[in-house]
Amino acid sequence: MLNKLLASLDESERAAVDDEEYAVLKAVAAELPSVKRDVLELIPTLQLIQTKHGYLPRLALRMVADHLGTTVSKVYGIATFYNQFRFNPPGRNPIKVCLGTACHVKGGEIILENFERRLGIKENETSEDREYSLERVACIGCCALAPAVVVGEKVEAYVTPSKVEGIITEIEVRKEMAAREQKKDEE
């Protein structure tokens, strides 16, 4: 199964896929055989890939379509309908700014702008070094802690423009420390 799908990539397709994405495709090819061949499994399957890899690579849609016996256009049509699915790899530090009602009233929009300014990317973009990605989400259900932001898995409460600075600095410091640790280990 795995070999068949991956081997069917022609040269130009293989060239268009970087190593990271190829690894994801390989993983998807390994996971698919355990999925029941039933169109009802389509959304759960896409969820599985999304949750595990953070996005749905273009070619993974084809694998899912092949496995479930449907067409790529249908799979694409469904995947693009729902908010949950992404088609580009997220940053290592995905930042989700909540713009639910309470967060909006308390200035969530301004927080989003501050992230955009600080990171130099717009919403729904990933920074060039793939370190950060930024998106808005509709209500994470922490309305009493507004405005709220989810950084990675962690919810940051009562975010202000100056706290935006703090959040990014903290990530940078942690990165710096990890890099030093690694360097030390290597030595």
Residues lying near another protein in the complex (CB under 8 A) are found at 39-44, 46-47, 51, 58-59, 61-62, 65-66, 71-74, 76-78, 80-85, 99-102, 104-105, 107, 110, 113-114, 117-118, 137-146, 148, 155, 157, 160-162, 164-165
Contact between 163 and 122 under an 8 Å Cβ cutoff? The reply is no
Rounded least distance, CB 61 to another protein, Å = 8
Nearer to another protein, 157 or 178 (CB): 157
Nearer to another protein, 10 or 179 (CB): 10
Closest residue by Cα to residue 111 from 52, 166, 63: 166
Nearer to another protein, 137 or 171 (CB): 137
For the record, the structure tokens of 60 come out as 């993974």
Q: Is 143 exposed, middle or buried (0-12, 13-18, 19+ CB in 10 A)?
A: middle
Nearer to another protein, 66 or 130 (CB): 66
In whole angstroms, what is the distance from residue 166 CA to residue 174 CA? 12
Q: Which value, in Å, is the radius of gyration of the alpha carbons in the chain?
A: 19
Rounded least distance, CB 182 to another protein, Å = 26
In whole angstroms, what is the distance from residue 114 CA to residue 162 CA? 9
Rounded least distance, CB 60 to another protein, Å = 11
